[in-house]
Amino acid sequence: MKLKNDMVNLIVRVEHHLCPLYCGVVDRRRIIAFLLLTISELIIIPYHIMLFLVMKESYGLSLCCLHTFVFCLLQFLVWKRKIAFVKGISSLYLLMFAKLALDSVFCINFGLANDNLSVISNLFVVFILAITALSQALYKTCTIITVGMIPMLLIYLFSIPLMSVLFSLKTIFLGFMMLVYVAVYNMSIVTKGLRQPKRMARVENKALNMLADLKDNQPEAAESLMKRLTPDVRQKIITHASEHLFKEELDRVA
């Protein structure tokens, strides 16, 4: 329980530092992903450097050193808030994709031996990156990664035996299906007509009241919040607020 509370406190502290004005659900997803990605890289980078040194693989070591330099630079810019957090985490995702793509090319063409397992593993991680970016509403980043994955896939498919291709197609197909799944549940039209419990109405009313108080007491924060919302969500808020006020007037007259 204490560990859970410490993790939540860490996330909240990072939120206040990287998103000082406002942090919604999507922003919190990005914060959590950023922290986990940072921790993962702090473990993976030394591990890869050690492997390349043991194997005396100059191409891989050079790529890993370049990746480490750019990664540290992006971390510095994000933590010092020299760039916007959204731009920073998008850049980290693109950096990871570029590193995995180049690593796959090196494994196929320049490595000590053709390493098909590493290539399919890289493709799997690229799918995870694209799905993660899409779930965090980083649509441009997801598009770049998905489009860039196509030549990566072609290089892989044309450089391995036919039977290996046939057995790996399942993984590739499921990766694309997961992308479709996340894209569909992110659509606003999917949430229309939901049969929600009555308790949701009370929650919505409370949220509207909180937004109204925020507008009165902290207009700049309210404006920042509204700017982060999509036009559909803003229209929903206005519609729900109008219906709520109309109902209050009817109750008052009755």
- Tell me the three-class secondary structure of 219-237, residue by residue: HHHHHHHHHHCCHHHHHHH
Is the CA virtual torsion 181, 186, 192, 193 positive or negative? positive
At 146 the pLDDT is 92
At 98-120, the pLDDT tens digits run 999 888 887 777 655 556 777 88
- Tell me the three-class secondary structure of 53-114, residue by residue: HHHCCHHHHHHHHHHHHHHHHHHHHHHCCCCCHHHHHHHHHHHHHHHHHHHHHHHHHCCCCC
Largest pairwise CA distance in the chain: 83
Q: At what angle do helices 85-109 and 139-157 cross, to 10 degrees?
A: 0
Please state, in angstroms and rounded to a whole number, the distance separating the CA atoms of residues 224 and 22: 7
Please state, in angstroms and rounded to a whole number, the distance separating the CA atoms of residues 223 and 12: 22
Torsion of CA 243, 245, 246, 248, to 10 degrees: 120
- Mean pLDDT in order along the chain per 10 residues (254 residues): 73 83 81 92 92 83 91 94 92 94 79 67 89 91 92 82 76 85 78 57 59 61 62 66 60 52
Please state, in angstroms and rounded to a whole number, the distance separating the CA atoms of residues 112 and 129: 27
The tokens for 48 are 């890869």
Backbone angles phi, psi at 48, to 5 degrees: -65, -40
At 56-90, the pLDDT tens digits run 878 788 889 999 999 999 999 999 999 989 999 99
Q: Under a CB-based contact definition with an 8 Å cutoff, are residues 161 and 111 in contact?
A: no
- Shortest CA distance to 65 belongs to which of 54, 76, 47, 49? 49
